[in-house]
């Protein structure tokens, strides 16, 4: 019995020893060198860069798709509006087209405004005289040729006294050529010229030109070196007159109840064609 147990133990030991001899040995990992480590890091960086490039390409593709979708929607909206316009044109094609008569428009405009030439006769009823005037839409305020201008006070208001500043050949009712004229000052304007600043009084006078009869503001300054003693600016023209620069003296010279003015009417009318616009 004793020998049998010893034999069994010996046999088991041999069996275990044989099993251990049959199993292959696992090799130990080799140590990681510097070049191998760098190569591994480069490989990982390359893979990461490829993944980032793929993500950026995907994002760009998505943005392009969104922009393309927006463009398609915009084009669709334009097409819908175009269809509506085409439908409207088809509907109105059978109807009679409206004809715009430009001549009628011009007639309507002339019916509300007075046509004047580049120079005209004007009447100043308060001064009882007529004068020649140059029409100038470039000037803002009208102007009357005046000399010996003196300002004074009357009843607490500012007034001005002056005479018409005229050349010898200026056409005027002679009785009014050297007559003193007084009028209240409406306001003063500051004129800036190369020679310096100048303050000019502004007065309001009733003026007639053809069918026009209204109060006009005039600045007073000496225009005797110019061809026209009166200049009419755009404040006067506004909403009431149209200027045809190809014409002159469209309206007749006004007359006043003086024997001198009536006697000079024909002679002065004959001189109209000789005037020159030298201003």
- pLDDT tens figures, 205-232: 999 999 999 999 999 999 999 999 999 9
**Contact residues for 51 (Cβ-Cβ < 8 A; gap 6+):** none
Tell me how far CA of residue 120 lies from CA of 133, 207, 219, 224, in angstroms: 5, 12, 19, 18
* Residue at token pair 């480069």: 42
The domain limits of the chain are: 114-272
The pLDDT mean for the chain works out to 78
**Contact residues for 179 (Cβ-Cβ < 8 A; gap 6+):** 127, 163, 164
61-65, 148-152, 189-193, 226-230: the lowest-pLDDT one: 61-65
Sign of CA dihedral 129, 134, 138, 139: negative
Three-state secondary structure call for residue 172? coil
State phi, psi for 250 to the nearest 5 degrees.
-65, -35
Q: What is the CA radius of gyration of the chain?
A: 53
Tell me how far CA of residue 148 lies from CA of 68, 167, 181, in angstroms: 81, 15, 10
pLDDT band at 190, cuts 50/70/90?
Answer: confident
* Per-residue pLDDT tens over the stretch 238-270: 888 899 999 999 999 998 865 444 444 444 444
Q: Exposed, middle or buried by CB within 10 Å (0-12, 13-18, 19+), for 245? A: exposed
Q: Which two tokens stand for residue 155?
A: 């009843």
pLDDT of residue 278 exceeding 70, the answer is: no
Q: Exposed, middle or buried by CB within 10 Å (0-12, 13-18, 19+), for 270? A: exposed
DSSP secondary structure letters along 188-256: EEEEEETTEEEEEEEEEEEEEETTEEEEEEEEEE--TTSS-SEEE-HHHHTTTEEEETT----SPPP--
Task: Compute the average pLDDT of residues 99-110.
Answer: 57
What pLDDT score does 233 carry?
93
Task: Compute the average pLDDT of residues 69-78.
Answer: 73
pLDDT of residue 131 exceeding 90, the answer is: yes
Three-state secondary structure call for residue 128? coil
Instruction: Give, in words, the CATH class of 114-272.
Output: mainly beta
Neighbours of 205 (CB within 10 A): 17
Give the angle subtended at the CA of 102 by the CAs of 101 and 106, to the nearest 5°.
Answer: 125
What pLDDT score does 195 carry?
75
What pLDDT score does 93 carry?
61
pLDDT band at 168, cuts 50/70/90?
Answer: very high
């Amino acid at each position: 019995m004793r020998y049998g147990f010893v034999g069994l133990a010996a046999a088991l030991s041999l069996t275990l020893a044989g099993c251990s001899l049959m199993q292959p040995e696992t090799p130990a990992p080799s140590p990681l060198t510097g070049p191998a480590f760098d190569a591994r890091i480069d490989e990982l960086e390359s893979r990461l860069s490829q993944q980032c490039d793929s993500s950026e390409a995907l994002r760009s593709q998505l943005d392009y798709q969104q922009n393309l979708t927006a463009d398609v929607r915009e084009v669709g909206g334009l097409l819908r509006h175009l269809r509506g316009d085409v439908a409207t044109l088809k509907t109105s094609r059978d109807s009679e087209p409206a004809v715009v008569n430009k001549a009628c428009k011009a007639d309507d405009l002339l019916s509300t405004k007075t046509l004047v030439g580049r120079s005209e006769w004007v009447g100043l009823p308060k001064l009882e005289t007529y004068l020649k005037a140059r029409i100038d839409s470039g000037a803002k305020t009208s102007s009357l040729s005046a000399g010996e201008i003196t300002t004074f006070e009357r009843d607490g208001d500012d007034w001005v006294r002056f005479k018409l500043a005229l050349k010898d050949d200026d056409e005027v009712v002679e009785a009014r050529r050297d007559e003193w004229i007084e009028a209240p000052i409406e306001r003063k304007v500051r004129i800036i010229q190369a020679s310096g600043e100048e303050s000019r009084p502004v007065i309001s006078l009733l003026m007639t030109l053809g069918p026009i009869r209204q109060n006009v503001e005039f600045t007073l300054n000496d225009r005797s070196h110019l061809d026209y003693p009166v200049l009419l600016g755009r404040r006067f023209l506004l909403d009431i007159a149209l200027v045809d620069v190809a014409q002159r003296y469209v309206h007749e010279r006004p007359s006043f109840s003086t024997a001198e003015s009536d006697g000079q009417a024909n002679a002065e009318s004959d001189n109209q064609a000789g005037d020159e616009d030298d201003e």
